[in-house]
């Protein structure tokens, strides 16, 4: 949300001034429940989820990016290999975040419970700051790397092809009558994104 909302909300509000928006940040499970109870009209989340009664409208395909601190042995590497990533050397989002689950799938390693430092956080900015201070490395969505301060840019590393990517979709229920403006919002979102994110990936990591 912090990386996507500022991109499209101003343009959408300007283009559709009669549509009132109320925005909440929800974890995916809570979002699905809210959609089914008709408490929200739509959600934006990593997919595929294949939830019964929930429609998924793909918006973009976002690569996972690595962030390594200056002291790290990989700081001068042009890119990283997915096979080099170890969850036990990684700063992670808290449990319940779908991005965390995807990172663990990419790393293909089980978390050890006896680590000297086991650091988790609820947002990417905190993870980057902790990594920058030497507490490990972390993975980020591509859009989040665009918003990082200049002092962090050297630590951003792409992951070699086949680059793990997440599919981000708009979620809504089949019975809703507001699909016209839902598709209008999807079009505005896509118009504000780097063009390369609109190209479908063959290496989508499910949430």
Considering the domain architecture, whether residues 18 and 79 belong to the same structural domain is answered as: no
Output the average pLDDT for the chain: 88
Considering the domain architecture, whether residues 145 and 85 belong to the same structural domain is answered as: yes
Position 10 in a domain: yes
DSSP track, 16-53: -TT---------HHHHHHHHHTTS-S-EEEEE----TT
Write out the H or E segment, with its range, that includes residue 41.
none
d(CA 105, CA 103) in angstroms, rounded, equals: 5
pLDDT band with cut points at 50, 70 and 90 for residue 100 = confident
Position 204 in a domain: no
- Can you give the residue range of the structural domain that contains 29? 5-61+168-198
Give the mean pLDDT of 96-121.
71
Considering the domain architecture, whether residues 79 and 153 belong to the same structural domain is answered as: yes
Considering the domain architecture, whether residues 57 and 67 belong to the same structural domain is answered as: no
Query: Looking at residue 121, which CATH number applies to its domain?
Result: 3.40.190.10
| Helices and strands (H and E) in the chain: how many | 6, 7
Position 88 in a domain: yes
Contact indicator for 182, 144 with CB cutoff of 8 Å: no
Position 146 in a domain: yes
Give the mean pLDDT of 16-27.
90
pLDDT digits (tens, 9 = 90+) for 112-148: 665 545 555 568 888 899 889 888 889 999 999 998 9
Write out the H or E segment, with its range, that includes residue 187.
helix 179-191
Considering the domain architecture, whether residues 104 and 146 belong to the same structural domain is answered as: yes
Higher pLDDT, 112 or 49: 49
- Closest alpha carbon to 141 in 48, 35, 66: 66
Position 163 in a domain: no
Considering the domain architecture, whether residues 91 and 152 belong to the same structural domain is answered as: yes
Considering the domain architecture, whether residues 19 and 101 belong to the same structural domain is answered as: no
Considering the domain architecture, whether residues 149 and 190 belong to the same structural domain is answered as: no
* Helix intervals (H) in 16-169: 28-36, 98-107, 124-130, 142-146
Residue given tokens 């859009």 in the structure block: 143
Position 95 in a domain: yes
């Amino acid at each position: 949300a912090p990386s996507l909302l500022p991109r499209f909300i101003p343009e959408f509000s300007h283009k559709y001034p009669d549509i009132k928006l109320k925005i909440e940040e929800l974890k995916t499970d809570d979002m699905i429940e809210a959609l089914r109870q008709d408490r929200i009209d739509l959600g934006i989340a990593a997919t595929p989820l294949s939830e019964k009664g929930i429609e998924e409208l793909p918006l973009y395909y976002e690569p996972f990016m690595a962030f390594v601190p200056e002291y790290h042995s990989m700081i001068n590497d042009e890119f990283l290999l997915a096979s080099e990533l170890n969850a036990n050397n990684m700063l992670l989002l808290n449990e319940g975040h779908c991005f965390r689950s995807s990172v663990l799938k990419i790393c293909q390693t089980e978390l050890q419970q006896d680590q000297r430092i086991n650091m988790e956080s609820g947002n990417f900015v905190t993870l980057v700051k902790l990594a920058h201070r030497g507490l490990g490395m972390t993975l980020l969505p591509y859009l989040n790397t665009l918003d990082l301060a200049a002092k962090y840019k050297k630590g951003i590393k792409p992951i070699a092809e086949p680059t793990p990517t997440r599919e981000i979709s708009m979620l809504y229920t089949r019975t809703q009558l507001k699909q016209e403006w839902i598709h209008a919002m999807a079009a505005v979102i896509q118009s504000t994104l780097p063009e390369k994110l609109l190209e479908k990936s063959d290496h989508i990591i499910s949430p």
